[in-house]
């Protein structure tokens, strides 16, 4: 009975870590791609050479989006490094 409770708790913990990792990766990709697409789209012909509020705000917004993507990537690496220290290479929690 106790083994079943421990297995259920380990499964729940593993699913929580997987979903958190997936969320961080999706946020990283989403913000980075959004920033890159906005930056690429703002550099259309005819708009590049003329300084305008639209062009400058697009560059600022895409830069902020790329920085947020990088921040989520750093958070993902920190999360994964903590996860790898807590668990061994086989995915089973090491005894202390």
Q: How many CB atoms sit inside 10 A of residue 56's CB?
A: 11
**pLDDT exceeding 70 applies to what percent of the chain?**
72
CA dihedral 29, 31, 34, 35 (to 10 degrees): -120
Q: What is the chain's mean pLDDT, rounded?
A: 80
Comparing 65 with 86, the larger pLDDT belongs to 65
In a domain, 26, yes or no: yes
In a domain, 27, yes or no: yes
* Total number of domains in the chain: 1
In a domain, 96, yes or no: no
In a domain, 93, yes or no: no
The pLDDT of 79-96, averaged and rounded, is: 63
In a domain, 94, yes or no: no
Number of H helices, E strands in the chain: 2, 0
In a domain, 7, yes or no: yes
Q: What is the extent of the structural domain holding 50?
A: 2-86
Q: What is the pLDDT of residue 70?
A: 96
In a domain, 16, yes or no: yes
């Amino acid at each position: 009975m106790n083994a079943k409770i421990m297995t259920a708790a380990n499964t729940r913990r593993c699913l929580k870590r997987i979903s958190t990792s997936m969320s961080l990766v999706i946020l990283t990709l989403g913000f980075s791609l959004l920033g890159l697409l906005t930056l690429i789209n703002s550099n259309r012909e005819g708009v590049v050479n003329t300084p305008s509020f639209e062009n400058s705000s697009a560059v600022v917004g895409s830069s902020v989006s790329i920085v947020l993507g990088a921040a989520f990537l750093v958070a993902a690496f920190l999360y994964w490094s903590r996860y790898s220290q807590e668990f061994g290479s086989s995915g089973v929690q090491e005894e202390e």
